[in-house]
Structure 1
């Protein structure tokens, strides 16, 4: 899918004009990209106060309210796929990361021949810094953040760990692998044991801001651990939520408030360092909130890990003094995907070239955010995971003497196998196929709302759903039976994507990853 550059030159000129009265007149804008982990759609104040949530996010509300709220913005349903697409601008069907997340002992990472967002920004003179969660592989030294374009890195490499001890255990059969994971560049740093990660990552980001060489434009990727499981937070952050009786929800709410405070502190640091007026702040979730762990996506259907809207419709906004006055304080309904950030930041904001990358699935949508053009994006492939097949489908599909004929008929008809888990958005429409975790297939309100969970009524062994997402964003009315021609058209589109995909890479765990073999910490082992 080709990357569009509509309005790119005009937007860059406008940014230069906006900053012409400052000491950074000839400098490109700084970019601070903040990624929240497992943050529910209904857990930001400007959504939640309309839908029964008690969670308070005054800093996020203010930044979003003064900027552009992205209300047709999509991410992936789990961690590694979103992060890989943010860094590469490419769908996971093109990087082999279609299935699951990268587990601690898996010899896997974002392919080394993929050009990353920080690498492209470095080509344009940016100082590139990352703080927080990596989670796109570390089995080789070449997979590490400082080998993928970042000048500096402070954070952890795996997907989850204790917020205070920074330890993580992972079972491989009967064997438990356990280790510490906190690194400054490539060095394991043990002196931060006991420091709560949200505070720690906020402070390290402020350190980057304070020591930044102002002769260079600055890029910071702040990937908070918050608000991912385990549910841990200093008690003081739970105090405003003592009316929430559900312990998970109360703890989660405190974690959100701590993260919100951190975002406010980072913004204040930008102002005190004299960088704020020339900075663009982008905020995003990595996936929907896990409703079993205190998060909430109401009124959307589903949860983290699902291809329902609750798993993939992200919280996102852009805040900057550089935005045109006409779009400040507005809501943007243009179709935008996490893969769009690489071309948007590199070409639309930094004015860089996109040559040298593999063919991008992302679009430069800066003109859309700035209000000068509609989004060039017309569809989103949410995913095709050929390793995730409806279990109730397999026995009937493979049993019996007619299997060969059924298989040959599928090949000859050139149709997409609807037992495979996949989803595609095209304009107003969304098609979804295959299985999803039944526990995620609900409309679950926040615990403190007093409302009741709604359960869908499904056909037995249903494999295909069709929704008009614009008219029915809550996915209440399946239209697959009413519009079979639309279903056939989109199944053909899924088949085209599937034929253009690379094989899934999901290797078995490697016991050589055991931290006990590497000084007690998680890190490269090959």
Structure 2
């Protein structure tokens, strides 16, 4: 045998040995989930004035996705599908989002990523925005959904009065009024309110300390870990403490994003200092597109059409980065992937059992480890208020996207594109509008259908097969709200929302 042949065999054996050695220590997972961040909001995706050195580091040293999707153009349903690997219609997190007094929440019979990993001895923690329900006696909090620890705001930080709160130092009041007919926004540790209203200037410092301490403690205990960090920052109203305020070129949105990036830097430093950086998959993406109604305070979808609240690309196609030194080679992938795929991928990498339910996610280990092909051929697009009556609004098959319905949204108002605004009423398309997303990612030019009859037949078949498999779960949001469920640190308070101060 030639010397080169022997070298190849030696290298192969070395790789096998390294794999066996690494498999003895299950990988750790850090999942970073931005809020209302658009496809064009990061410097590594083309924004000229964003300052995010740590996210740029992840992109330079990891795998950057160009065709990564969330499952809903609004918050709660997007988070439900991420954590369960199932479209939000199955779990009942629709229509719209959950509120402080919502009676429903993510059903406890749904299996989250944390619950998949815990039987293997993983430590699990969530820090930041939950937004999957609070319920009576904290029924739906993270600690009831597989997470050992939780520090955060249990819903969106604009779901409470904010006009008299400080969002930037020294005493710059929050922009806008937020929701005025509910309690002040609380900070919770596990199931206990620690602060109400929350101090936005110190919030990220608390999150950073909690998250880095969780990593350090897990490493000391020689316990694999899963850290879920859904950030609030780029959602309205933006906020930042002294470490980031006024330091970006992009105003309040840029400062908020920079503060989020600073915490990502702290997490990376902790992973390095504890010696587990090479055994940790760090994954970053966003829950939905930018809220264009906030104009410069609302993010940017780049070349994509519309934003939050719509099923156009700008509402559901997100930046995404996977970073794992020594395992994931730096590069860019154009393979299609989704937040649905996180649960089966983490389960595969950890050697965990999948839940015995209908999953919509697929394992994307081949994309991450070998920059191979995706197992995902389709992506389904439901609006923020899905129904069995209308079914899918759009479907992507390969490079083609078919719109069966289009509709604008309040969230994407105040943009020059009239298709995006709330005045763009629901419009059916039969036959569907079809776009080639490789040639026209902005969805500007519907293709002539004369030469696409075979494609139309295939699209119809895929749509019918998927919708036949879809069983809508009971709507948790339609259960309504009870003001008595709104969390307040003073149980004797009356009337709400003026009672909360602790």
Give TM-score, length-normalised by structure 2. Answer: 0.81
2:237 pairs with one of 230, 243, 255: 230
User: Which residue in 2 is equivalent to 1:150?
Assistant: 147
How many residues were matched structurally?
453
Structure 2 CA distance for partners of 1:158 and 1:440, relative to 1, 3 Å? closer
Match of 2:100 in 1: 104
Structure 2 gaps, min length 5: 1-13, 168-173, 498-502
Residue 434 of structure 2 corresponds to: 466
Residue matched to 1:88: 84
Residue aligning to 2:49:
54
Residue 187 of structure 1 pairs with residue 192 of structure 2: yes
Q: Secondary structure at the match of 2:283?
A: strand
Q: Which residue is 1:364 aligned to? A: 363
Q: Tell me if the contact between 1:301 and 1:475 (Cα under 8 Å) persists in the aligned partners.
A: yes
Structure 1: give runs of 5+ residues left out of the alignment: 1-12, 245-249, 389-415, 445-452
Pair 96,241 (structure 1): closer, same or farther in 2 beyond 3 Å: same
Query: 2:102, 2:413 → 1: CA distance?
Result: 32
Q: Structure 1 residues 259, 461: closer, same or farther in 2, change over 3 A?
A: closer
- 1:312 has 2:312 as partner: no
Alpha carbons of 1:519 and 1:273: their partners in 2 closer, same or farther (altered >3 Å)?
Answer: farther
Cα displacement (A) at 1:190: 2.2
The answer for the alignment partner of 1:252 in structure 2 is 253
Q: How does 1:430-441 map to 2 (within 5 A)?
A: 430-437=401-408
CA separation of 1:474/1:118 partners in 2, compared to 1, >3 Å: closer, same or farther? Answer: same
State how 1:377-456 maps to structure 2 within 5 Å. 377-383=376-382, 422-437=393-408, 453=416
Structure 1, residues 276-299: CA drift from partner, whole Å, max 9, x if none? 122111111111111222211121
Give the aligned partner of residue 125 of structure 1. Answer: 121
- Tell me, yes or no, if structure 1 residue 206 matches structure 2 residue 176: no
Q: Shift of the alpha carbon at 1:194?
A: 5.5
Separation in 1 of the partners of 2:407 and 2:236? 21
Q: Per the alignment, do residues 495 and 58 of structure 1 end up closer, same or farther by CA in structure 2, a change over 3 Å counting? A: same
> TM-score, normalised on structure 1?
0.78
CA distance in 2: counterparts of 1:502 and 1:121, whole angstroms: 26
Displacement of 1:385: 6.3
Structure 2 distance, partners of 1:188, 1:119, is 24
RMSD across aligned positions (CA): 3.3
Cα distance between partner residues in 2 of 1:333 and 1:67 = 14
Shift of 1:217: 0.8
Helix, strand or coil at the partner of 2:77: helix
Shift in Å, 1:98: 3.6
With over 3 angstroms needed to count, the CA separation of the structure-2 counterparts of 1:305 and 1:459, relative to structure 1, is closer
CA contact (8 A) 1:343 1:363 kept: yes
**1: CA distance between counterparts of 2:246 and 2:16?**
43
Partner Cα distance (1:386, 1:57) in 2: 34
Cα offset, 1:26, TM superposition: 2.4
Cα distance in 2 for partners of 1:299, 1:421 equals 24
Q: What's 2:471 paired with?
A: 501
**Closer/same/farther in 2, CA of residues 277 and 461 from structure 1, 3 Å limit:** closer
CA distance in structure 1 between the partners assigned to 2:267 and 2:203 by the alignment: 15
How far apart are 1:345 and its partner, in Å?
0.4
